[in-house]
Structure 1
């Protein structure tokens, strides 16, 4: 007997983590809750709900392209091809795999396959989403990305998942169940702490020398505009004989240990980012702290401004 003396109730909208050692019975409990396994004794009462299931290991022998596979799954529940394609497009954008829709699944990375597994379950419009070790095999950045995306799903959706990683348990679950030798030994609500993402980024810098640089493409537009604005402001002040609190000879470019133009450009880029706080960690690098729920938007803003991200860390 794999599970014994089990007694629990799970309510709509709960996010439940099932934890335990390998072989403890947590995956079996997950499948029993979803009706994938049937009880051999006792009774399981399930509401008439739609269940989406994401296995721990995505099948390796599927030769479909990612989008073709999702279309096939979507046709089981969606009424029209237009509706299927629209929902696939929305989820592909949400999970950041739009660029891989025409890639054969057996050529996709573990992280992309894992997201495809979640999307195929969501296409069924489940009331209950079951995930078996969803972070297995993912790198740290992919784990944080997937966690943020799961948190972005509708609050009323019930999610039950097995996990070892504290990241997913602390970041998603509002209730934790621990299984040992087929029995539930712990079942309690959790207090979720607010999460923050620490972003380390390299900021594009450029000396202010001569006339404003011309904008030649989208990648340099933000940088060029900032430098040009600052140079024009300095020129106006020089022409009007104004001072701004630092000694400045007429007709000469301001300098502070030779680094002031760099700092001006970096400050103007960073000040546009709605961060909790930030600090410079090098001549052209900065560490920015942002709320986890806003991290995707802020990362996009940084990339649009020509910044390069070299480290992401989640903390509470």
Structure 2
């Protein structure tokens, strides 16, 4: 099978490529990545893949790659909420125009597509609300990031209905694991402690995220590609709800520090309060189950990876923290 992975040098994409080559040795993988700050050749080091540096919104780059593929797995996206508040245009360009470009290419060539999205398209839930997001939850995005991802989802659904594109979609909860850029919440806290800095917590830290290990997310993606129904949206989550405050305190505990040794900083504007995924259909219909059911164990493994791979994250650390410091975060 010839697999084209857009955004395959980013966090989830690179883990998907690694997992695919390990579990599907017959797969021939091509990665298309613009190699912005969040994409890294090092994340694919030692792998037998073709890496094409290019823009997912560039038809002349995308079309010949799709023509050669049996399946396209579309991870490419700008994904950091803070960055979307500072400059929304790259999010419109990559998330909306890029998805349109991929859709037109798979339409021309009749190629199978799986589109990766986020639970943030649904907005947020109250802390005391027992509800969880489902595939029928109305969209209510609250940031330039989530709104552009919502737009990309709607494009995929329209191309399925209007043009018969063979696509499936997935909306996942917050991923964590190896190779995640250190601007993101969990790796930022881990590398702060490893670097002798105090972790930083937005606001009171009561915001709840539904965490899933990246390996579990990517296993679900393959289950959807293999057995999912074209046109369907599947939600991927591992019942990992935890407040940001509890996550920071657990990071400190696992690294042998005082769990209260962190700083509260300015909150993000429009910060969503709670995300929670109902992944029942994925489990019941496709038989998927998470392997990392214990968040503590998954976080322990993630901490070990960042401790053992300082050369991967160290060159970025000072610049990332300087950027946050400039905004009081």
Q: Which category describes the TM-score, using the shorter chain as reference length?
A: under 0.3
Normalising by structure 2, report the TM-score: 0.25
- Select the structure of larger CA radius of gyration: 1
- Relative contact order, CA 8 A, sep 6+: which one is greater? 1
